[in-house]
Amino acid sequence: MRIHKEGLKTIVVSVIIVAVINLLTLFLITPRFPILGWVFSIGTFILLLFILSFFRIPRRNHHEGDEEIVAPCDGTVVVIEEVEPDEYFNEKRLQLSIFMSPLNVHVNRNPVSGKVVYSKYHPGKYLVAWHPKSSLENERHTVVYKNSDKEVLVKQIAGALAKRIVNYLKPGDQVKQGDEMGFIKFGSRVDLLLPLDSDIKVKLNQKVKGGVTILASW
């Protein structure tokens, strides 16, 4: 397991803060209130472990298949429905949404191989990620991949805790399925817009793994 580069600054700052808190606790609180001192020490240590785990990159064998669309992130499938797109597409698409809790791995990966034909950042609100309007009103970054004659749209959406979306792609890039496309800090959501004739392989409330779980085929 590795630590993602997007977390290095956060981890360094967190370690410094935890060290300062524990030193102050050791000298100011523990001598008079030893139990409270232990509570502070254990609590900050648990928080630091959580931050470290959030930026983890587990070792995995990523799936590869030209006819298949893999999950761009870890999380839970919360939406599978036909929608009228608000961006890029003019015809109905099949939306599949994955909610990412703070405990999930937050690296985002390319669901297909192909060419990036669209990449755009949108500033916005920070509604909770499962809110119905989060995909329209929250801060988000949209990418469209073209594989042969088919296209898939992936939208990284910030949540109430997610205050930074990172995306590495730009129009014209040739990308490989399973490689990193970005990162979202803390709880968030990823939407995919697929062709209507896509064969969905997952169900609502199913847990998926980024780069591993097959979401659909075309």
Coil, helix or strand at residue 189: strand
Instruction: Assess whether 26 and 50 both reside in one domain.
Output: yes
Instruction: Assess whether 9 and 114 both reside in one domain.
Output: no
The predicted-structure confidence for 85-137, as pLDDT tens digits, reads as follows 989 999 999 999 999 888 888 899 999 999 999 999 988 665 555 555 555 66
Instruction: Assess whether 121 and 16 both reside in one domain.
Output: no
Instruction: Assess whether 40 and 132 both reside in one domain.
Output: no
Coil, helix or strand at residue 26: helix
Instruction: Assess whether 39 and 98 both reside in one domain.
Output: no
The predicted-structure confidence for 174-216, as pLDDT tens digits, reads as follows 999 999 999 887 668 899 999 999 999 999 999 999 999 999 9
Question: Which residues are CB-neighbours of 206 under 8 A, at least 6 positions away?
Answer: 76, 77
Provide the number of structural domains found in the chain: 2
The predicted-structure confidence for 44-59, as pLDDT tens digits, reads as follows 999 888 888 878 888 8
In a domain, 47, yes or no: yes
In a domain, 26, yes or no: yes
Annotated catalytic sites, by residue? 188
Range of the domain at 169: 68-217
Q: What is the dihedral of CA 200, 175, 55, 99, to 10 degrees?
A: -20
In a domain, 62, yes or no: no
Choose the final residue of a domain: 14, 31, 57: 57
Global confidence as pTM: 0.84
